[in-house]
Amino acid sequence: MFSVYVLRSVMTGRFYTGYTSDLSHRIKQHNHGITKSTQHEGPWELVHQEQFATRSEALRRERYLKTGKGREELKRLLVLVEVVSRSAG
């Protein structure tokens, strides 16, 4: 299984989208400064993830989420998640 994930920097609010076959290990890499593109903005929190059976499906979804339309879709998803979590708390 492969995961497409979205992280949010607790420090800056910036989002990072990626894919991996080991999500917990990958998040640890981001939070320990091992990943060059995210090393100066941690800590990072997982705000969204999707599962895919193949690497190619995950890569396709990651690329889409990095486009203008994909970022718009992601914003809508994250707003919906925030509304649901607020109403549950």
Number of domains composing the chain: 1
Name the residue range of residue 59's domain: 2-88
pLDDT at 78: 85
User: pLDDT grade, residue 6 (50/70/90)?
Assistant: very high
Give the separation between CA 44 and CA 85, rounded to whole angstroms: 19
pLDDT in tens, 23-47: 999 999 999 999 999 999 999 999 9
Higher pLDDT, 81 or 75: 75
pLDDT in tens, 63-76: 999 999 999 999 99
* CB-CB contact of 55 with 2 (8 Å): yes
Residue for token pair 């607020």: 86
Which domain CATH number covers 67?
3.40.1440
pLDDT at 77: 87
Give the separation between CA 7 and CA 45, rounded to whole angstroms: 5
Give the separation between CA 77 and CA 33, rounded to whole angstroms: 27
The structure's pTM equals 0.88
